[in-house]
Structures are given as structure tokens and as C-alpha cells.
Structure 1
Amino acid sequence: MQYKDYYQVMGLSRDANQDEIKRAYRKLARKYHPDVSKETDAEAKFKELGEAYEVLKDPEKRAAYHQLGANWQTGQDFKPPPNWNEGFEFKGGGFTGSDAADFSDFFEQLFGRTGFHSAHTERHFGEHLRGQDSHAKIHIDLEDSYHGATRTISLSAPEMNAQGQLQVKHRSLNVKIPKGVKPGQHIKLAGQGNPALGSGQAGDLFLEIAFNNHPLYRVSETDVYLDLPITPWEAALGAKIKIPTPEGKVDLKIPPNSRQGGKLRLAGRGLPGKVPGDFYVELQIALPPANTEQAKAVYQNMQQTLDFNPRQTMGG
């Protein structure tokens, strides 16, 4: 995937204000509109311009785009950094202009086809207007879901100053992480969204949960998986060993004649909940290296003693 410099597309500096962005778009849209332009690549330029304007005219998308840094060049191979939009606070969401089908892979990797999030916006019409809900993604440790926790999170929200230039405000909140929360779930913080006009009620803040990468475990729905290395003799003869789990070490019985990739299930030891998930151990047989004369002799003895050909069914 190639990086797109939207400022270069529109001939603007990164500190351009909103009026400059609008003027640049109107000028270039007239130049490249396929119905009137004589440029050979007018249609492609017009689509690229529409995508750039979709990002730069929207303070939220523009601020998120700035998170990627200013050192990328158009055409460079690009992959969004892990958790690049963590703690970034968004409001309404969705698209406001161009057809999403025309957006590039670069745009879709950052913003998707339907905006940053699912809208929870609630409007109450009458004498006072309720403040707009806001949304952010936060990453927690797997252990936080097992035990529950209170975490301090940092949020960043874009806003325009009086000169129409983009700036970002920051705030910190103490958030209670409920036991059993799963990736993709939302924590609602009532009244922590955007303030209302006048004396209306403030909106709510919805925090989408994601898990940090864990050095041992991976998660699928409510189940948790551990890749467990075992020795060839443990696989062949069986063994009883201690293994780590997010709730502490437990004894695990390895059945004799276990195979590479075999799964052992610990029922109910996955993510907590009314119906808890399961904990799965996937066996990974690790071969000792034949890096000494003694080790080589052991392998040679196995070769001579054991009548074993794993390719027998292939005619080998």
C-alpha cells in the first residue's frame, strides 16, 4: 500500500487553515472536473482531490492523519503503525462528500468505508439540544479483562481555533474496566462526551475495547489460546507439567502419543462472563538441536532403533 500526501495533492502546507483548504479544493475541482477539464488524467486527479478534501476538511480525519507523522512521501510503501488511532476522540463519524467507493486502499486502511465508528449519536429536539456523543478506542491488557481494573487513559480531540487552524486538546480520565469485557465491546461514560449548547445535557463517551498484543496468549471471541512447546518425549510418553494462564499456573496432563498441533481444552478458563470462554493449549513439539556429538548419537540411535517413516502413506 502506498502513502498519500493529501497536502501535496491540494498544494497546501500542513498548517493551512480551513478557508485555505476550501479555496484550494474549489480551484482544483474546476481544473480537473471530468465534464470540463482537458487534462488527460482529469478523472483520476479529480478522485484523488476528492479523497484529499474528504480528509483535510474534516478536523477529526485531518487530526488522525497528522498522527501518522510528516515524514512520509507520496508513493512510499506504508503500513499504519499499531494502535495508531488509540485514544483519539471522534464525534459524528461517517463521510460527508465523496463516494466512499472511490477511495483508495490507503484511505480505507485508515478510515474504513463507513467512518471511524458506529454512530451512537442521540439528538433530543426541544428547548435544549443534547451534546454530541464521542467515541475513542482504547487498548487494555488481557489480564484486565480477567480481573477487572481501573486505568487512567489519555484522550485527544481535534478542534479548530479562531483562525481556522487545527489544534488538539488532551484530557485524562480514570476508567473502570469491567471484568469479562471483550474486544469490540464499548464502555459508556455518561456525560463525558461533547458539551451541549446552553444548559442541555452533555453527550456520552463510548470507549471501544481492544486488547494489547500479549507475549503468550491470543484471543478469539471469548476463548484464549496458548502455544505450548513440549519435548518429543513428553509428546510420546505423556507428562504432567505446569503451564501459565492469565489466572496463574495450573497443572496440565499431556496425553501419551500427543501430536504436533494437538489441542487440549481447559473448560471455563477463557474470558470471564455469564458463559465463560475456554482456554486452549496448542501443542508445539520442539526438537532438540543435534549440535553436539552426544546429541547426534542419540538421533542416530533413534534412526537405527525405531521403525518410523512419516512419509509411508506417500509411497516414500
Structure 2
Amino acid sequence: MARDFYEVLGVSRDADPDDIQRAYRRLARQNHPDVNKDSGAEERFKDIAEAYDVLSDPEQRRRYDAFGEDFRRVPPETDPAAWRQARAYADAGAGARGGWSSGSGSSRGFGAGDFGDGVDIEDLLGGIFGGRGRGGWGPGRVPGSDHEAEVEVSVEEAYGGTERSLTINGPDGPRTLDVTIPAGVVDGQRIRLRGQGGQGSGSAAAGDLYLVVRIADHPRYRVDGRDLHALVPIAPWEAALGASVSVDTPGGVAAVKVPAGSSSHRRLRLRGRGLPDRHGKPGNFYAELQIRVPGTLSAEEQRLFEELAKTSTFDPRSRP
């Protein structure tokens, strides 16, 4: 993680969940690869999705606030205050000529017994910096690496959740995992499967597997963050007179009220009918009107349209 998650979303560290969601939705719309063709947009979108995934989850946010970029690797029972103190000693020791001592009698750097207040840097930092702590690295004890894989879901599956059977290739051959994809995932979101990454050596812990969600292109819906967009065909008389039309959404059929005098490309919002969000407000569904005319006309339809053409003073090409 090269950047601070709060910086990625442009919010303060005390931002509330609504502020975080608003920032995410704004940035996701600006940087979605389907909208923004800039060469760096896709990478920025991934950073934005990861930042939101962490900061919108109360437990992950708490750990991130406590441990920073190491929050995924620090053991759950670690005390944040002791961790910060150990990191401070580690940073100081790394800058001292001679580095860390492997024993308590060294005259340079810091050794395992140099704290004087009961804090053992090797216990706290062994798993990350290679010390001999109980859960860290050491002879024959190397924690497993984290792995990453992509999983593709449809818009309907992103809306309602789904399950996947994934085949993961490892040193001991392929293995199958049954994975639950929660409702309301967004494109680029990362799902953590604890302990399903690379195997550690000796008795060291396994790494984690991170699934990156990709929402497949859909013939009817366009996804923009948690918002969904769809074209809704209407007849010329429905556009002129107003009407109530049915619209298919991932959550079921919804009624859309078309105001009288509507033109093509007018967008009508169905609040909360987009992708759900288990940590906040759901997205919206936007119905974009598209006026269609009959391909062939009956004799009566032909007469009525000709009469309308003679009677109407409307000029669609005149400026309002």
C-alpha cells in the first residue's frame, strides 16, 4: 500500500461512514475504466475500491487506524500501543550503524532485551521483520505468502450475492474452495479469505487469499460504482402524454413514472434500487428514456400521424 487509504478517498481520519461512501461513489464514477480512458484510471479505481473496502468495514478500519499498512499482518491479539512503541524502536534501530543485535550484550542497535518495560520487539515484530518471535520468522518458520485471484460475477449476482467453487493451484496440487460472494459487492472490491494463501513452513501461519471481484458486462445494465443505468424504451405518445411503465431491475420489476413532455435521454432515478451496501446506503437505478416509433404503421396509425403532422406546430429542430 503505497498511499494512505484516507488520502486515496480524500477524507479525514475522523470521517463518518456517509462521508466515506460519498467520496467513494464520486471517485469511482470519475475513475471507472468504462468512463475514464486515461491510462492510469484503472489503477486509481483499484486503489479507490480497496480503500473503500477497508474503511467501510468497521473492524478493518479499526485495525488500519491502529496498525497502518501492517494491519493485515499483525496478529489479532497485539496491543496497538505496544506495537507503536516497538515500531518506533525498530525504526531507530534500523537507522543505527550495526543494526539490531541478536543478543542482549551488543553495544550497538537494539536487542531483544533493550526495552526495559516488558516489551519484546521480537515477539511483536518477528512475523514481519524476521525476528525470532513466537509467531514470526526463524529457522524453519516462514509465514505463508498472500495470494490474489480474480472472480467474475454478473450484475444479478453482485446484487443478490452468490457462491463460487474456485480451483486454486498450490505446491501440493490443485484444491477447491467454496466461496460466498456477499450481496452488494462492487467491481474491484477485494474479499479476504484468511489462511487460504500460501502455506507457511514449520508451524508458521498460512497467508491469506484475496479475491478481486470483477462485474461482467451486462446486455441491459451499466454499472457505475453502486449505481445502475439502463435504457427504457417508450412510445412517442407515452413521452408526450406521460405514462407509468415497468422496468426490470436486478431486484425485480419496478414502476417508473414518465412525466408528460419527456424526450429521449432523460434520466429518471429510482432511489435505492441499485447495488446494496451492507455498510451504508444502496446505490440508485437510473432509467434513461429512449423514444421508439413503430417500424410499420397500420392504416389508422398512418392517418393519425399524418393528422398530427398537419395540426402540430412543434418543431424539434428549433432552439428553445
CA deviation vs aligned residue, 1:111-149 (integer Å, no higher than 9, x gap): x999x9999995632322111111011111222232222
SS in 1 for 2:305: helix
The aligned residue for residue 200 of structure 2 is 196
Rounded to whole Å, the distance in 1 between the matches of 2:235 and 2:297 is 16
Q: 1:284 to 1:270 in 2, by over 3 A?
A: same
The aligned residue for residue 163 of structure 2 is 150
Rounded to whole Å, the distance in 1 between the matches of 2:160 and 2:167 is 22
Residue 225 of structure 2 is aligned to residue 212 of structure 1: no
One-letter amino acid matched to 1:149: T
The aligned residue for residue 149 of structure 2 is 136
Count of aligned residue pairs for this structure pair:
194
TM-score, normalisation: structure 2: 0.54
Of residues 221, 227, 230, the one that matches 2:225 is: 221
Of residues 258, 261, 276, the one that matches 1:272 is: 276
RMSD, matched Cα: 3.2
Q: 1:304 to 1:154 in 2, by over 3 A?
A: farther
The aligned residue for residue 313 of structure 1 is 319
One-letter amino acid matched to 1:195: Q
SS in 2 for 1:225: strand
CA deviation vs aligned residue, 1:216-261 (integer Å, no higher than 9, x gap): 2111011111111111111111111221111111222111111110
Q: 1:113 to 1:231 in 2, by over 3 A?
A: closer
Of residues 225, 238, 241, the one that matches 2:242 is: 238
Q: How far 1:293 sits from its partner (Å)?
A: 5.4
SS in 2 for 1:139: strand
Rounded to whole Å, the distance in 1 between the matches of 2:252 and 2:202 is 52
Rounded to whole Å, the distance in 1 between the matches of 2:231 and 2:250 is 14
SS in 1 for 2:288: strand
Indicate if the aligned counterparts of 1:132 and 1:193 stay in contact, CA closer than 8 A.
Answer: yes
Matches within 5 A, 1:36-185: 124=128, 125=130, 126-127=137-138, 128-155=141-168, 157=169, 170-185=174-189
Residue 260 of structure 2 is aligned to residue 260 of structure 1: no
SS in 2 for 1:302: helix
Residue 310 of structure 2 is aligned to residue 304 of structure 1: yes
The aligned residue for residue 81 of structure 1 is none
Q: 1:208 to 1:253 in 2, by over 3 A?
A: same
Q: 1:140 to 1:131 in 2, by over 3 A?
A: same
Rounded to whole Å, the distance in 2 between the matches of 1:153 and 1:244 is 31
Please, which runs of 5 or more residues in structure 1 have no aligned partner? 1-108, 160-168
Rounded to whole Å, the distance in 1 between the matches of 2:43 and 2:275 is 31
Residue 295 of structure 2 is aligned to residue 289 of structure 1: yes
Rounded to whole Å, the distance in 1 between the matches of 2:215 and 2:194 is 23
The aligned residue for residue 248 of structure 1 is 252
Q: How far 1:270 sits from its partner (Å)?
A: 1.1
One-letter amino acid matched to 1:307: T
CA deviation vs aligned residue, 1:272-303 (integer Å, no higher than 9, x gap): 11121111111111121246655544433332
Rounded to whole Å, the distance in 2 between the matches of 1:311 and 1:146 is 41
Indicate if the aligned counterparts of 1:289 and 1:295 stay in contact, CA closer than 8 A.
Answer: no
TM-score, normalisation: structure 1: 0.54
SS in 2 for 1:244: strand
User: Identity percentage over the alignment?
Assistant: 37
